[in-house]
Structure 1
Amino acid sequence: MSMKEWLELDIDSLELEEVTELEKKRVKQHVLKKREKKHIWRNIAVASVMLIGISTAAGYAYPSLASQVPFMDNVIEYFSNDETYKKFDEFSTDIGLTETSNGVTVLIDNAVYDGTNITVSYAIETDKDFGESMNSGANWFDIVGSNGSGGSSEITKISDNRYVGISTITPSFKGGDYPDKVEITWEPQTLSSLSNDVKVDGDWSFDFSLQRVNGDVRLINETVQTDDIHFTLKSVELTDVSTVIAYEQAVSDKLLDEWSEVTPAFTVTDNLGHVYLDGTGGSGFSADDGKTFEGTTSFGTIHEDATQLIIKPVEIASLMYGKGHTEIELEPIVIDLK
């Protein structure tokens, strides 16, 4: 299938009768994000990205619009039910940049850089009805000095003419070394609806920088394997706002001859029973057609009373496009936290 056919693929037409809910979710997210952010990777020969899809406003507890003066204040409160962002407000930087173009105002509210991921909260005010959610354009956040980036976006409607959004960007730097400070630019260029034909081209442009939040990096370098897969958990970084696991894997030619793509998803729990990830992937890349793969996965902070973190990788070997898959479970990796 050509890239054009891939980007124009009708997700709902996929034949998925014999796949699990995890694979349905993964394929749909992969197709949606490839179409929605087709320039998300730059200057990387072969990239494989597993991204979280855009969701609607259901389930969030919204603060009163009367408190938003003059436009929007504390966007992150709209995502307060997500444990990933529970420390965002406390440790993020107030950006406060606003641009208006063609009747649409975009405000970047706050942002934080945890040493691996950059999270940005923003709001959009418009005189047009984009429906329940919108696409923030093909032009992704650009991180100066990076050779590529992956990430996810979530934009939800909160009133007739207002939307709130949050994006997480995972840049890749040469040698895998993350700087203490990142310079970020964002020029959305086009905002479009995901449910109707509304689209607005604009001249929004943002530039800002962030200092790295200090974290505790613990080198793990523990490997679990099968005959065809070697998975190594390289490190776990604990910061005030997030937990980041870094990993790499190697896959045999035999397995890749049978399956188009082999990428990991994770279930992460602690010894107290808290669930941090449940069959969730991350972002990463391969420079050799999937034979080796490096990536990161992040989630919220770990409960203060937990003494162990249990990371269980599940490899998804897939033919892609809903044509079939198999799940290969690997042994869990247990990390002592105290």
Structure 2
Amino acid sequence: MKKLYEQFNRVNININIEPMEVSTLEKERIKKNVMKTKKKKHLTRNLVAVATFFIASSITIGYTFPTFAANIPIIGNIFELFIDDERYVFDNYNEHSKNIEMSQASNDVEVTVTDAVYDGENITIAYTIKSERNLGERPILEGEDGELTADEFGNRYKYSGYATNYIVQKINDNEYAVLYIFELLEGSKPEEVHINFRGDRIVDLNNGNNSVAGNWAFNFNLAKLESETQLITKDSMKTEAEGLKVAVTKITKTPISTALYFSEEVLVAKDDGDWRGVLIDYIMSDNLGNEYNIVHFRGAGHSTDFEGRKNFSRIIAKSFDEQATSIMITPVVGVYKIKDSTGALELIKEPYTIKPIIVPIHKE
């Protein structure tokens, strides 16, 4: 601590600068990364000292110096704000994402697209929402006809072949960070896409009645990251149980993630004529004992209305530990019935696991 105080004393700050508030998002960005500086050797000690002082000042006295802040590079990235989310798979995204930094305000709500990345499996857009209005707990930008189009897609993803996923982090009462994941499941994956990202309202995912109309639109282009796809020989990576068969059909690796595609076959038997449904989740780990978060596209699921129909699903995980030699994918089976006239579902019994699929990791 003595050395740290000495560094503070050496920092040259103009104390006559007019104090102003700094965004909580900026504080969080710096705070999260200063805590990790032991792992980031490229940061100088003086920069750590300055950033630490910056945080301490803004937290203890409620304001800081905007000119001083403007001269400090943004340490870290918006993706790290989601590190505690169970779907956090974004360790390498900042290294490969494109800095966008476009802002638009409409109806007293400001949306800023900060970063975006396209790896052929997903288009992931990071953005913030800021307003004095009460936007709820999980506000997102939403468009009546969808939020994302690209000239190169034509109508391919207009009605099918894609899915959307949102991860929302509330920064404070007036500011939010959002990751929008446009999942490219079936169809063209061009080398470059000219993105039109827009919305006509901000809506709270936890309360659809809480929304703000407006007009926000952003246009930018993204180049596809390199990828490598391995088609799996039929049934060479599979697991089976009574009435169940799950197989890995394809593996695609990119610099930021690994995508595994599954074929699921489930025979769902009716009980006393009642409807039954099955959903399969997955647990992913490696031979070293590491567990991995995933972003899961579940497909249509399985039910007694579509007996014996195959279902397609996909999971996205971050890049695997370099020392790992195999991945273990454990299916978790949940069986449901309709609870009441509202159509709500309830579990018939506790979810159970079946024998895992072992996927060897091929070293380059």
> TM > 0.5 between the two?
yes
Secondary structure at 1:202's aligned position in 2?
strand
Shift of 1:304: 1.1
Identity level (%): 22
Shift of 1:267: 0.6
Alignment partner, residue 202 of structure 1: 214
Q: Does the 8 Å CA contact 2:280/2:298 hold for their aligned counterparts? A: no
Q: CA RMSD in A?
A: 3.4
Q: Are 1:179 and 2:179 an aligned pair?
A: no
Alignment partner, residue 336 of structure 1: 360
Alignment partner, residue 188 of structure 1: 199
Using a 3 Å threshold, how does the CA distance of structure 1 residues 260 and 77 change in structure 2: closer, same or farther? same
Q: Does the 8 Å CA contact 1:247/1:294 hold for their aligned counterparts? A: yes
Shift of 1:119: 1.4
Alignment partner, residue 35 of structure 2: none
Amino acid aligned to 1:105: E
Shift of 1:158: 1.7
Alignment partner, residue 122 of structure 1: 127
Shift of 1:111: 1.2
Using a 3 Å threshold, how does the CA distance of structure 1 residues 196 and 252 change in structure 2: closer, same or farther? closer
Q: Are 1:276 and 2:292 an aligned pair?
A: yes
Work out which of the residue numbers 310, 317, 320 in structure 2 matches 1:292.
310
Q: Are 1:303 and 2:270 an aligned pair?
A: no
Q: After superposition, what is the alpha-carbon deviation per residue over 1:118-173, rounded to whole angstroms, capped at 9, x for unaligned? A: 21100112131324432433644334332422232122222343221112121333
Structure 2-normalised TM-score? 0.65
Name the CA distance, whole Å, in 2 between partners of 1:169 and 1:192. 18
Q: Are 1:113 and 2:107 an aligned pair?
A: no
Shift of 1:272: 0.8
Q: Are 1:76 and 2:79 an aligned pair?
A: yes
Shift of 1:81: 4.5
Alignment partner, residue 91 of structure 1: 96
Using a 3 Å threshold, how does the CA distance of structure 1 residues 251 and 160 change in structure 2: closer, same or farther? closer
Higher RCO, Cα 8 Å, sep 6+: 1
Name the CA distance, whole Å, in 1 between partners of 2:274 and 2:335. 9
Amino acid aligned to 1:273: G
Structure 1-normalised TM-score? 0.70
Work out which of the residue numbers 312, 325, 337 in structure 2 matches 1:319.
337
Alignment partner, residue 227 of structure 2: 215
Q: How many positions carry a matched residue from both structures?
A: 276
Q: Any gaps of 5 or more consecutive residues in structure 2?
A: 1-23, 32-57, 59-63, 339-343
Q: After superposition, what is the alpha-carbon deviation per residue over 1:258-283, rounded to whole angstroms, capped at 9, x for unaligned? A: 654323210100011100048x7434
Aligned pairs for 1:25-40 within 5 A: none
When structure 1 is superposed on structure 2, of 106-115 and 280-289 the one drifting more is 280-289
Amino acid aligned to 1:110: D
Using a 3 Å threshold, how does the CA distance of structure 1 residues 118 and 284 change in structure 2: closer, same or farther? farther
Name the CA distance, whole Å, in 1 between partners of 2:191 and 2:299. 21
Name the CA distance, whole Å, in 2 between partners of 1:236 and 1:141. 28
Q: Does the 8 Å CA contact 1:270/1:310 hold for their aligned counterparts? A: yes
Amino acid aligned to 2:148: D
Alignment partner, residue 54 of structure 1: none
Name the CA distance, whole Å, in 2 between partners of 1:329 and 1:75. 35
Secondary structure at 1:284's aligned position in 2?
coil
Name the CA distance, whole Å, in 1 between partners of 2:143 and 2:172. 25
Q: Are 1:249 and 2:264 an aligned pair?
A: yes
Name the CA distance, whole Å, in 1 between partners of 2:314 and 2:89. 15
